[in-house]
Amino acid sequence: MPDAAVVPAPLERWQRDYLNSLVVERGLSVHTVSAYRRDLDRYIAWLAERGIADAAGVKPDDVTAYERHLATGDETHQPLTSSSRARALVAVRNLHAFGQAEGLTTKNVAADMPVPKQGQHLPKALSVDQVQRLIEGVERETPIGLRDAALLELLYGTGARVSEAVSLDVDDVTRLFGDDDLGLHLIGKGDKERIVPLGSYARAALEAYLVRGRPALREGAKRATPALFVNTRGDRLSRQVAFNIVKERATQAGITAPISPHALRHSFATHLLDGGADIRVVQELLGHASVTTTQIYTKVTAEHLREVYATAHPRAQRVLSR
């Protein structure tokens, strides 16, 4: 297996960006991301050894050959157990799905890779009370406070991915304050555009930020930027900084549950379904290509209803124990 130094830069960048997305977009733990990194280090080095320089250079036959490689082993490693092999192949498939979503490839060459089914991970949503504590706990007397409040209101109020939120420009929002626009235009995975309504709380927070927050943050900036959300240097806010903002504001609000920008997206969907929204509407608002992706939230809602029933109904425990 070649040293990391001989791995082509496009392969390294592909892996690095994907691992960053696991932290920033999905809020996965350090231990989980480390496991992905170990599996993908092996895969990326193997691709480099075969003379493959970037994501577009990987063919379906390469993926099949790698699957055999894991099962049979070589002079560098023993054959992996079925569970370790399944985990490694899931990492490969997800890496290629990310590459397609980011436009590095036109298709996911690992999409048809047979991988044993893994236990389903239900997304963790915050309670309505936790969301209120998170957002209302932000001071709105400073430019940074105004920015953070607007960011949190937008993430929860629209269900936007953090990458979609930080990609917004000022013009994307200011046109909402006229009478003709029906909603906020978001550009999702695969450059797919969708329109989501913007509620009164998010509108008010964005207006306050645009009038009193953003101009102060942009003061003294060395270069122009159309970005809606900016950092203390006046440049576009990065996904990682947005992730840190959510984490820090949650800590200030006394929320001990794991939280990330994606948790606000989960909460947006779960609370809509709890309130009676149609799953097809939630699918459109989230920008999911298939309703099957959205259906996981119905399981979260069902679990919530079961918990409420079990604690609130006087005869629930006897019924549920049968």
Beta-carbon contacts of residue 116 (< 8 Å; ≥ 6 apart): 82, 86
Catalytic residue, from 93, 265, 266, 271: name it.
265
For 147-161, letters b (16+ CB in 10 Å) and e give bbbbbbbbbbbbbbb
Catalytic residue among 203, 262, 266, 271: 262
Does the active-site annotation cover 121?
no
Out of 189, 218, 247, 304, which one is annotated catalytic? 189
**Active-site position among 42, 87, 161, 266:** 161
CA distance 189 to 191: 5
Which of the residues 18, 43, 156, 297 is marked catalytic? Answer: 297
For residue 28, give the 3-state DSSP assignment. Answer: coil
DSSP code, position 70:
H
Residue 93 CB coordination number (10 Å): 18
Other Cβ atoms closer than 10 A to 51 = 8
Q: Is 265 a catalytic residue?
A: yes
| Residues paired with 194 in a beta bridge | 186
Q: Contact, 70 vs 40, CB < 8 A?
A: no
Active site residue 96: no
Residue type at 252? Answer: Q
Q: Catalytic residues, which ones? A: 161, 189, 262, 265, 288, 297
